[in-house]
């Protein structure tokens, strides 16, 4: 019998950390691959600017406190304005533009994973003239400017890791000429609202503690629905934020449903009547059913996300009953306040609290590109809830 000798060959192993590399140009959002950035986590923005409404000149510096989460030779910031200088720590860093909203920063020496980093970007530009993705959210008005947008708006006034998944604290100081006022979001303890001038985008947006409302929302007088909508976002969207843009229904479906709850509360029509009106008004062939709110595609702000999103919330309420439903909503905010969350976590919470398997319900309402079939058929209600009339007429449907 022969024995085979096997030689063990010693292979020299060099133990060292991973090779420093360029941070990713995006945070990993499948819908918006180059939004946000990889390789670091921001804790604080200190934004100190000067603005001249007459010339639309915005200048100053933003100092970012962050921590490297990888060994980095360079990293990106999201920003469209013209940059004058970048410091990392107290040393000048290289910087170059890539595409229209990526600023690639190369520090004098690589950053180690876990290392705190201070990045100071000095800049001056006219934001209304700078395009990112083909547009600007910076609208000039006769006496100033308004910047608002979703999912983009930071690019036009401060460099950032622009994605809801990287939350940070802010200090903002803007110097303006006498007679001009600066209004920006405040901490959650404060609350207010701002009707934008006619030259600003005519939309409403849930800016933290200071939602903005296009003047057209109040053309016919008081409009509590838009106020309810934007203020409900203070919990659903702002306090609890998306981890990825695909889950936008967690913001808009819930804010729309808050409108339905308001309607129920003031006697304008119950949430069930809202649901029944929509379900019977939009036939099987309607486009509403081809866009699943749990995976709407880009752009994410579409009517389907709002309407079918709210219908999804209502179906959950019907399935689990009011007691469990409102417990789910309160727990959702309590468990994720000031953090980020996704649809899978919401479904898990709803199943935990209700003790029900809700997989089929959410599959049908969030992800199937067809009109969901109801166990109990509904008919158009005797009256169409008042706040739905504009929605139906916008869709070319008369109740
Ligand atoms: Zn909304």
Predicted structure pTM score? 0.90
Structural domain that includes position 273:
240-394
CA of 252 to the centre of ligand 1 (A): 5
33 shares its domain with 180: yes
Cβ(69)–Cβ(41) below 8 Å? yes
* Whole-number Å distance between alpha carbons of 111 and 88: 10
41 shares its domain with 168: yes
List the chain pLDDT tens, one digit each, 399 residues. Answer: 455 555 555 555 555 567 999 999 999 999 999 999 999 999 999 999 999 999 999 999 999 999 999 999 999 999 999 999 999 999 999 999 999 999 999 999 999 999 999 999 999 999 999 999 999 999 999 889 999 999 999 999 999 999 999 999 999 999 999 999 888 767 788 888 888 888 888 888 999 888 989 888 888 889 999 999 999 999 999 999 999 999 999 999 999 999 999 999 999 999 999 999 999 999 999 989 999 999 999 999 999 999 999 999 999 999 999 999 999 999 999 999 999 999 999 999 999 999 999 999 999 999 999 999 998 888 888 888 888 887 788 777 765
* Whole-number Å distance between alpha carbons of 106 and 110: 8
CA of 14 to the centre of ligand 1 (A): 54
Residue 159 domain flag: yes
Among 167, 184, 201, residue at a domain's last position: 184
**367: DSSP letter:** I
What is the count of structural domains for the chain?
2
Residue 17 domain flag: no
CA of 205 to the centre of ligand 1 (A): 7
Residue 8 domain flag: no
Among 184, 208, 231, residue at a domain's last position: 184
133 shares its domain with 33: yes
CA of 275 to the centre of ligand 1 (A): 18
Residue 50: CATH number of its domain: 2.60.40.1730
CA of 255 to the centre of ligand 1 (A): 6
CA of 156 to the centre of ligand 1 (A): 22
* Whole-number Å distance between alpha carbons of 16 and 38: 22
334 shares its domain with 254: yes
166 shares its domain with 256: no
CA of 19 to the centre of ligand 1 (A): 43
Among 164, 184, 204, residue at a domain's last position: 184
244 shares its domain with 384: yes
The per-residue pLDDT for range 156-199, each reduced to its tens digit, is 999 999 999 999 999 999 999 999 988 876 778 888 888 888 88
Residue 217 domain flag: no
CA of 251 to the centre of ligand 1 (A): 6
Indicate left, alpha or beta for 317 from its phi (over 0: left) and psi (-120 to 50: alpha): alpha
CA of 7 to the centre of ligand 1 (A): 68
* Whole-number Å distance between alpha carbons of 351 and 354: 5
Residue 328: CATH number of its domain: 1.10.390.10
CA of 73 to the centre of ligand 1 (A): 39
Residue 205 domain flag: no
CA of 301 to the centre of ligand 1 (A): 9
Contacts of residue 290, defined as CB under 8 A and 6 or more positions apart, other chains included, come to 369, 370
Residue 224 domain flag: no
Contacts of residue 186, defined as CB under 8 A and 6 or more positions apart, other chains included, come to 192, 208, 209, 210
267 shares its domain with 171: no
Residue 116 domain flag: yes
CA of 224 to the centre of ligand 1 (A): 14
């Amino acid at each position: 019998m022969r024995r085979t000798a096997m030689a063990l060959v010693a292979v020299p192993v060099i133990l060292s950390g991973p090779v420093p590399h360029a941070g990713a140009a995006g945070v990993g959002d499948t819908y918006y691959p180059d939004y946000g950035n990889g390789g670091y986590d921001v804790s604080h923005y200190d934004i100190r600017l000067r603005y001249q409404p007459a010339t639309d000149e915005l200048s100053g510096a933003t100092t970012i406190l962050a921590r490297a989460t990888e060994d980095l030779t360079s990293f990106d910031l999201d920003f469209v304005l013209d940059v004058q200088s970048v410091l990392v720590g107290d040393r000048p860093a290289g910087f170059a533009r890539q595409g229209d909203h990526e600023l690639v920063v190369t520090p004098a020496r690589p950053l180690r994973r876990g290392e705190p980093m201070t990045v100071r970007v000095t800049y001056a530009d006219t934001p209304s003239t700078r395009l990112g993705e083909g547009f600007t959210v910076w609208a000039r008005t006769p006496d100033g400017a308004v910047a608002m947008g979703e999912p983009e708006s930071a690019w036009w006034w401060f460099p950032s890791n622009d994605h809801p998944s990287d939350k940070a604290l802010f200090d903002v100081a803007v110097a303006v000429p006498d007679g001009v006022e600066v209004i920006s979001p405040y901490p959650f303890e404060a609350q207010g609202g701002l009707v934008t001038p006619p030259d600003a985008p005519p939309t409403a947006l849930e800016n933290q503690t200071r939602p903005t409302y296009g003047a057209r929302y109040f053309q016919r007088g008081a409009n509590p629905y838009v106020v309810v909508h934007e203020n409900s976002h203070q919990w659903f969207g702002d306090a609890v934020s998306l981890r990825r843009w695909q889950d936008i229904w967690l913001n808009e479906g819930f804010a729309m449903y808050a409108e339905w709850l308001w309607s129920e509360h003031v006697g304008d029509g119950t949430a069930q009547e809202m649901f029944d009106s929509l379900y019977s008004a939009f036939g099987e062939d309607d486009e509403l059913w081809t866009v699943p709110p749990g995976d709407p595609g880009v752009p994410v702000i579409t009517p389907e996300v709002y309407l079918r999103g709210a219908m999804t919330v209502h179906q959950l309420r019907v399935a689990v009953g009011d007691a469990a439903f409102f417990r789910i909503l309160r727990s959702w905010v309590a468990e994720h306040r000031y953090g980020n969350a996704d649809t899978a976590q919401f479904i898990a919470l709803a199943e935990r609290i209700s003790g029900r398997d809700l997989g089929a319900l959410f599959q049908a309402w969030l992800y199937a590109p067809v009109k969901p079939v109801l166990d109990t058929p509904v008919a158009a209600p005797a009256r169409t809830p008042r706040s739905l009339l504009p929605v139906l007429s916008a869709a070319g449907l008369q109740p």
